[in-house]
Amino acid sequence: MKIQRTDLIPLGWNEWFDKRTECAPEDTVARIAAVDRDLLLVMDRTGTFRAKLAGRYLYRHHLSQERPCVGDWVCIKKAPTDDLGLVHTLLERRTALRRKSAGDSVDFQMIAANMDHVIVVQSCHYDFNLKRLERYLVMVRDGGAEPCVLLTKTDLVAPEVLASQVAEIRAAGITAPVLTLSNVTREGIDELKQTLQPAKTYCFVGGSGVGKSTLINQLLGRQTLLTSDVSGTGEGRHTTVRRELLLLEGGALVIDNPGMREFGILGAESAVDDSFANITALASRCRYRDCGHTNEPGCAVRAAVDSGEISQEHYDHYIKLRTESEFYKMSYIEKRKKDRDFGRFVKSVKKHFKDQ
């Protein structure tokens, strides 16, 4: 019989986890609040404490996405006299936010887990970039969370500029809620607070200096996250250096993230289709079911581009994201195959010498 852990509901627990939990009754079930190299900051109903991964867990899990990240739920063995808890089980993730690892490595990097909503933050003064926004939204949908767009620093642009940016978002077929605010005038802060529900987790992502940490400080009502002065261009000097899960006074949980400019897509083809719903709807009218929407005859998507129904730029970005995702997915599959082949080779060598 599964144990119902109602005491963890304020930290984001729900029936979905109850049905999938395999922790022993004597284990501590806790949520990852921060990761500091080999140490984990975790929270449970009693507060926060430090933990580390058990040696057996490290031995059995080599992939980066198999290691706990902020927002994960874990099973921990910890006696009252222990300084550190030992994490021996990572619970199944309900949602996740991940990207391709930065650089040439073809692997996943976990950003956060088990969030209900991901709020993509862009400054409408200097940081507004529709293509980058679409890239973020693809990854949010790929992980199963609900997306929301937040445009900050509205005090630095004219109302018609802000209205134009919102119109541009809608013209691209983006249906996610769009909120606007200014950390200076506080216009829009109350509206954002009303959307943050108790026991729900909200992950804030965006580029450096768009005002995420300043905003979360306002939500917390205290200076918890370090921020720096705004530069002469209106760009904040970003100082957040780690991802962190924080509990707001109203009961909502928020995850702050360091600024991310590079957000590679790996194996998210279905999320690309979901994010470009206007193109996907047209694709159903293509002559061929496996139409690639490039040079095939009878392509409804190409026809829409030629007629101006869909902009060339919007179409080009769709093709780019889909191609990037497919390319990295094939590279990842090839890499995993090589890793497995090498692992089998090592085992065979060990067995050979053991039999001598």
CB 210, CB 259: distance < 8 Å:
yes
- Coil, strand, or helix at residue 201? strand
The encoded tokens of residue 278 equal 């206007």
The predicted structure's pLDDT at residue 329: 67
For the chain, strand residue ranges (E) read: 28-36, 39-44, 47-53, 73-77, 85-90, 96-100, 108-113, 117-123, 146-152, 178-180, 201-206, 244-247, 253-256
Distance CA 42, CA 205 (A): 21
99 half-sphere exposure, CB direction, 13 A CA radius: 18
The predicted structure's pLDDT at residue 296: 86
In sequence order, the 6+-apart residues with CB closer than 8 A to the CB of 254 are: 196, 201, 202, 203, 204, 216, 219, 245, 246, 248
User: What phi and psi, each to the nearest 5 degrees, are found at residue 53?
Assistant: -75, 135
User: What phi and psi, each to the nearest 5 degrees, are found at residue 179?
Assistant: -110, 150
When pLDDT is cut at 50, 70 and 90, the band that residue 345 belongs to is: very low
Percent of the chain with pLDDT over 90: 44
CB 28, CB 65: distance < 8 Å:
no
Q: Answer whether 0.95 is exceeded by the pTM.
A: no
Distance CA 192, CA 202 (A): 11
The predicted structure's pLDDT at residue 257: 85
Report the mean per-residue pLDDT for the chain.
83
Distance CA 337, CA 329 (A): 12
Average pLDDT estimate for 275-304: 87
The predicted structure's pLDDT at residue 262: 61
The encoded tokens of residue 129 equal 């970039």
- Nearest alpha carbon to residue 11 among 60, 74, 97, 58: 74
Window from 42-51, 70-79, 204-213 with minimum mean pLDDT: 204-213
The predicted structure's pLDDT at residue 234: 43
Asked whether the predicted pLDDT for residue 183 surpasses 70, the reply is: yes
Complete domains list, the chain, with CATH: 6-90 (2.40.50.140), 108-256 (3.40.50.300), 269-332 (1.10.40.50)
50 half-sphere exposure, CB direction, 13 A CA radius: 8
Treating both helix axes as pointing N-terminal to C-terminal, what angle do 159-171 and 130-143 enclose, rounded to 10 degrees?
A: 50
CB 84, CB 52: distance < 8 Å:
yes
Window from 71-85, 190-204, 284-298 with minimum mean pLDDT: 284-298
- Nearest alpha carbon to residue 138 among 299, 273, 297: 273
Q: What is the CA radius of gyration of the chain?
A: 23
Average pLDDT estimate for 298-304: 90
Neighbouring-strand partners of residue 160: none
Residues in the chain: 356
Asked whether the predicted pLDDT for residue 278 surpasses 50, the reply is: yes
- Coil, strand, or helix at residue 85? strand
